Structure 1
Amino acid sequence: MSSIIDGLKPELVWKHFEDITKIPRPSKHEERILEYLKNFANSRSFEMREDSTGNIVVLRPGSGGGENAPIVIIQSHVDMVCEKNRDSDHDFMKDPLQLYIEDGWLKAEGTTLGADNGIGVAAAMALLDMPDTVELPPLECLFTVDEETGLTGAFALSGEIIKGRTMLNLDTEDWGEICIGCAGGGDSSIYLPIGYKKAPSDFLSFQLSVEGLRGGHSGVDIHEERGNAVVFLSSILSALQSIDCRLVSIQGGDKHNAIPREAFATILISPEAVSEVQTIVSNREKSLQKEFGSMEKNMKVILSGLEDSPDENLTEESQSRIIGLLRTLPHGVLKYSHDVEDLVETSNNLASVKINGGKINVICSTRSSIADALESQRERIAIMSNAYGAEIEQDEAYPGWAPNVNSPILETTTKIYSEILNGKPNICAIHAGLECGVIGEKVDGMDMISFGPTIKGPHSPDERVEISSVDKFWDLLLKILKELSKK
């Protein structure tokens, strides 16, 4: 039976990647992919270690002359961000991904692809499947859980299950780059109590929606100043405050680390105000298109009538507070680094809003490469939230990863990368969370870098991986390990 990956190189990496795209693996629901990896290791008689969180280490002895070399850790995370287009009926808890190729890129129909970090997982599995004649050092293939919702697996990692002190993280998303540092970050969960009152019987019910935005990763894409559907929707609702318009419900965004692509509100409008509301909405759409048109070419602002009219709407005070809070909370780049050109230092993603019980829940995800700056911004978010009568919960921030320009593994990788590229790779730090920062704090003396193939649109249904870059990434990985097997 033919497959979409037939003929793609390297065959072993693509085979494993296709296999894992058939296995549901949302964050916090990794039990099936973990079972698959355990069966994979057991069927090949590899030693395996596991901690109480679910992180797995599969051990492959050195081979081809690398038997006595120092252990190298190959690290990837098994979970994926599950985002889909509104018209998709894909069920991430049970359905396999539907893959297709377009213009040299592998994609999934209407959903995230999970190349972040499925390609890394597949590459680790391919290494485990290498013949004994291949020159490799002893490997500890570390598969972590729940990276995408807070680096849970890395935070809870037992240092006892890994012995190596050189680590290759396979979660960077640009071929030609070596990542040697990353931002830290932390979430803020804001809970605003709301009240309801009886809705006017003659008011008409409408859905106001912002749709078709690009979304994307709240770290690596934040500098592009893409539109945020929650921000756009709240700006329109704010413009409607002076009109007899009642807010019933609001929802937008989903994942803390994804820029919201869609947002929706149910509103009630007095019959005599409908025309004025339509004009304001139309004008706001034109204004947003003028401001973001080249970036958000598919953006739509839609006001559509609803058949059923709700019995209740938010009180004036609740409506004013939620709109005010959403208009006050920051979104986007807050500061660029003074030391590294074009590096975002601090940012905030206004990630989601939804009604949960008698409260409106707003999630913000803040990132910074400076720990004090991170906590300062989270303090500001708490003060803003409290000013509107909201409660706030802030989880422990995860640490950034401070660059080590004198790293031995960086020197080795740069040399090999330069030979492949016929030029220098881009050595960089990224404005996103990598597990390296957490693992480096837990395990003393860890020497690490991160690299990978080119992946665009992570955390959105536009996610895609450049097929040709996977072959080059695999070649680089094998050459690095061959060099390390001689140490």
Structure 2
Amino acid sequence: MNAHLEQLSPRPLWRHFRTLCNTPRPSGHEAALVAILERWADGLGLAHDRDAFGNLRICKPATPGAESAPGVILQGHLDMVAQANAEHPHDFTRDPIETRVGDDGWLHARDTTLGADNGLGVAAALAILEDETLEHGPLEALFTLEEESSMGGALNLAEGWLEGSLLLNLDSEDRGQVYIGCAGGADVIVEAQLPTAPLVDHEIALRLSLTGLSGGHSGIDINKGRGNANRLLVRVLRALEPYGARLVDYRGGTLRNALPREAFATLVLPGDEQATASERVAVLQAELRAELAEVDEGLTLTLLPLDVRPSEALTEQASQQLVRALHVAPCGVERMSVAVPGVVETSNNLGVIRLEDGGFHLCALVRSLHDSATQDLADRFRALFELVGARTRVENAYPGWTPDPGSPLLARFRRLHQKRLGSDPEVKVIHAGLECGILGGKYPQLDMISFGPLIRGAHSPDERVELDSVAEFWELLRALIEDLARGETP
């Protein structure tokens, strides 16, 4: 599948990306891909090993004459976000990603995430390793696991394992930019067992659905005004409280690091309130569409009767307490940075919400450029949901990457960018969880930058990559490695 990818330029990079598209690799299911890459490395005679967590390293010695050049680590993550449109049946553990080249000069996937994040960075590193025309110092390619789900690979990376002093993170998504800092983050998990009560004779069951949102990356896209399906459906549930609505179940969002595009709830209310509640939902749909005009114009809100009547729902008090807690829970941009204008400093994504048989589960992702602010926002969740008797814990916390504007590696990249492209790259800090912060904590001697091709819609089925930017990214990467091998003063 995806044979057309090998006709794109640069061919070595796209050939490897085809392998990644054809090999299912959602977070936690990277083993098959690791095995393929190990066999590939064996075929080229390249040394490789894994740490205890399973992160993969492939090494290539320097070309003759460049043995004394600084060691360069090419770093990316093997897993991808698994998101598909609701009407598209796709098993990310079994099915390949089907790609298509659009008339717009971008590569897309058919109704799923593309996996350009971070498949193109991985493919570029592999193409570098097999390039026999490239002059380079000692090379290590570090491929981490479970970045999208938990940062698990980076958090559990072996210490004292990597040998290089320069790290090129290939997981950025903007053309003409180089990143030198990123937000840290943590998962906030809230769980509770809430009381239920049987339905009474006059209650009827209804299905409330909110669909049609754009979704996107919960860090990069958090400030773009897009709707969060969980935030919006809870708002609707709050508006239905006066009609005696009680929650039966709830399902919204699929990943804590993706903006939820859809959310669904089953509720019961007195039968004589159905018509009025439906009218209220129609008004809310118009209001939400007006608020999200030119951002999420596909929003659809429906309230439809169910044929099967559930036996129980949350008690009225429990339902109201839960909806009210979710209604006031932090969501979206909390604070913009003063030190780095235009960059989000602190945010939260209400990523995944589930309610079934009274069991409630919430997974939110808090991000901040300040680790102390991450901890504080997580504590606000704890304080809020303790009021409704829920248990809260914080998992998978990872530090931010503190910018170093005086980085020699950055100076070299800027000079090279100016020389080859005629422009100085924008030096940026990103409100997303690059692995650099974690890697820098384990290997403080590393000088690091992050750059990549132009990717849009990451973490959603709208994910796409601009083809021209991939060629530009490839040429910059090759030129930088050769420049570092030659050792000229930046």
Aligning the two structures, in what range does the TM-score lie when normalised by the shorter sequence?
Answer: over 0.9
SS at match of 1:224: coil
Query: CA distance change for structure 1 residues 198 and 396 in 2, over 3 Å: closer, same or farther?
Result: same
Partner of 2:294: 294
Q: Quick one: structure 1 residues 2 and 230, their matched pair in 2 at CA, closer, same or farther if it must change by over 3 Å? A: closer
For residue 220 of structure 1, what is the aligned residue in structure 2?
220
1:231 counterpart residue number: 231
- Post-superposition Cα deviations, 1:141-168, rounded to whole Å, max 9, x if no partner, equal 0000011122111111112321001000
Give the TM-score of the pair, scaled to structure 2: 0.97
Q: How many angstroms does 1:421 deviate by?
A: 2.6
Partner of residue 49, structure 2: 49
Matches within 5 A, 1:231-250: 231-250=231-250
Structure 1 stretches of 4+ with a deviation exceeding 4 A read: none
- Residue aligned with 2:241, SS: coil
Q: Quote the residue 2:33 is aligned against.
A: 33
What is residue 480 of structure 1 aligned with on the other side?
480
- Are residues 395 and 2 of structure 1, via their aligned partners in 2, closer, same or farther at CA, if it must alter by over 3 Å? closer
Query: Normalised by the size of structure 1, how large is the TM-score?
Result: 0.97
Equivalences for residues 87-486 of structure 1 within 5 A: 87-102=87-102, 103-131=104-132, 133-355=133-355, 358-486=358-486
Q: Deviations over 1:22-46 (max 9, x none)?
A: 1111111111111111111111111
What is the CA deviation profile of residues 366-396 of structure 1, one whole-angstrom value per residue up to 9, with x for unaligned ones?
1110121111111111111111221101125
Letter of the 1:471 counterpart: A
Paired residue total: 486
The offset of 1:357, in angstroms, is 5.9
Measured against aligned partners, the alpha-carbon deviations of 1:57-99 in whole angstroms (never above 9, x if no partner) come to: 1001122643432210000000111011100101001000111
Residue matched to 2:8: 8
Give the whole-Å Cα distance in 2 for the aligned partners of 1:222 and 1:245: 31
Cα RMSD (Å) of the superposition? Answer: 1.4
AA in 1 matched with 2:124: A
Cα distance in 2, alignment partners of residues 60 and 112 from structure 1: 32
| SS of residue in 1 equivalent to 2:179 | strand
Q: Distance in 2 between matches of 1:426 and 1:101?
A: 28
Q: Could you tell which deviates more after superposition, 290-299 or 72-81?
A: 290-299
What's the counterpart of residue 19 of structure 1? 19
Q: CA deviation at 1:358?
A: 4.2
Please give the secondary structure, in 2, of the residue aligned with 1:395.
strand
- Judge conservation of contact 2:2–2:22 (CA < 8 Å) in 1: no
- The 8 Å contact of residues 314 and 358 in structure 2, kept in 1 or not, is answered as no
* Identity value in percent: 39
Aligned to 1:83: 83
Once residues 478 and 13 of structure 2 are traced to their aligned partners in structure 1, the CA distance between those partners, rounded to angstroms, is: 12
* CA-to-aligned-CA distance 1:272-309 (integer Å, 9 cap, x gap): 11110111101111111111121111111111222111
Deviation of 1:355 after TM superposition, in Å, equals 2.2
Q: 1:356 to 1:144 in 2, by over 3 A?
A: farther
Q: CA contact under 8 A between 1:176 and 1:421: conserved in structure 2?
A: no
Give ranges in structure 2 of 5+ residues lacking alignment.
Answer: none
Are the equivalent residues in 2 in contact too, given 1:57–1:161 (CA < 8 A)? no
